[in-house]
């Protein structure tokens, strides 16, 4: 992570990958949102592969791509809260727009990050599309046991301060506020790609179908035999890269069409 930006007074670590040459007519931008760490010490591990993915998207596809670490994770400051992570994603989008001149912004999220991406895009009409990978439809299971989640977050090293949160109730309410299954309907008709492993034992594949159905015209891809951590599955990454390439082509055609109409 080689950059920093600030959200709610918290400094977050980020990596911005730029294409060798910015496209003069159709420069897309991508923000990559990571998931909840899966093991102790996983705060850093959960973001370790995403700068490399951002570099690949920039080098092979010509996108400007931003990977970042949410509050409490890796080199970023602060402590985990789901509402805070949503703010961080919105801040990452703003940071990308401030750093690079782009003609459109897309979001790719993995696990928890995918649900947050759907939620953020539903509230921001300037987001062109979302890809959600192995993402939950909602966080009701966490909301039912917030104290258990808080203990887990401490074990994962993403809640670092002993006096955080000041009150459990608003922290827990933030878990209920993110509902990708409802946000997907508001996101439509903008683009939504949903990728899920058929053998995901962390987030049921039912969640992917529910989000896709709520959207109405989502591109649902099931990776047969795939587990939860699809960022390490070359089939899922190939699906993502193909989708991003198609999104860039659509952006270019739209700009060319606008130029023709106004010319």
Q: What is the mean pLDDT of residues 28-47?
A: 79
Q: What is the mean pLDDT of residues 93-117?
A: 96
> Could you tell me if 146 and 160 are in contact, meaning their C-beta atoms sit under 8 angstroms apart?
no
- 3-262 domain in CATH 3.30.70.100? no
Q: How confident is the model at residue 38 (pLDDT cuts 50, 70, 90)?
A: confident
pLDDT at 257: 72
Domain boundaries, the chain: 3-262
Helices (H), the chain: 42-48, 50-61, 82-99, 112-123, 140-144, 146-156, 168-177, 180-187, 205-215, 234-262
Lowest mean pLDDT among 36-50, 101-115, 160-174, 178-192: 36-50
* Whether the model pTM is above 0.85: yes
pLDDT at 260 exceeding the cut of 60: no
pLDDT at 4: 95
pLDDT at 36 exceeding the cut of 80: yes
> Could you tell me if 115 and 85 are in contact, meaning their C-beta atoms sit under 8 angstroms apart?
no
């Amino acid at each position: 992570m080689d950059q920093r930006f600030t959200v709610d007074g918290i400094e977050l670590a980020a990596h911005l990958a730029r294409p060798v040459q910015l496209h003069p007519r159709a420069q897309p931008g991508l923000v990559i949102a990571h998931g909840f760490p899966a093991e102790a010490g996983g705060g850093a591990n959960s973001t370790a592969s995403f700068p490399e993915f951002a570099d690949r998207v920039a080098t092979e596809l010509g996108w400007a791509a931003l990977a970042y670490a949410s509050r409490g994770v890796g080199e970023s400051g602060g402590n985990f809260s789901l509402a805070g992570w949503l703010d961080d994603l919105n801040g990452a989008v703003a940071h990308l727009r401030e750093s690079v001149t782009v003609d459109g912004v897309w979001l790719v999220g993995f696990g928890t990050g995918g649900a947050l991406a759907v939620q953020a895009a539903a509230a921001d009409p300037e987001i062109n599309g979302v890809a959600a990978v192995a993402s939950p439809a909602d966080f009701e299971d966490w909301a039912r046991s917030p104290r258990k989640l808080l203990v887990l977050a401490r074990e994962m090293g993403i809640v670092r301060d002993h006096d955080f949160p000041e009150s459990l109730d608003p922290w827990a309410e933030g878990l209920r506020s993110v509902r990708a299954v409802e946000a997907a309907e508001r996101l439509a008709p903008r683009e939504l790609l949903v990728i899920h492993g058929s053998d995901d034992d962390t987030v049921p594949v039912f969640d992917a179908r529910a989000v896709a159905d709520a959207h109405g015209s989502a591109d649902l891809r099931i990776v047969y035999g795939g587990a939860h951590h699809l960022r390490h599955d070359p089939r899922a990454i190939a699906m993502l890269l193909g989708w991003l390439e198609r999104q860039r082509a659509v952006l270019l055609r739209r700009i060319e069409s606008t130029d023709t109409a106004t010319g």
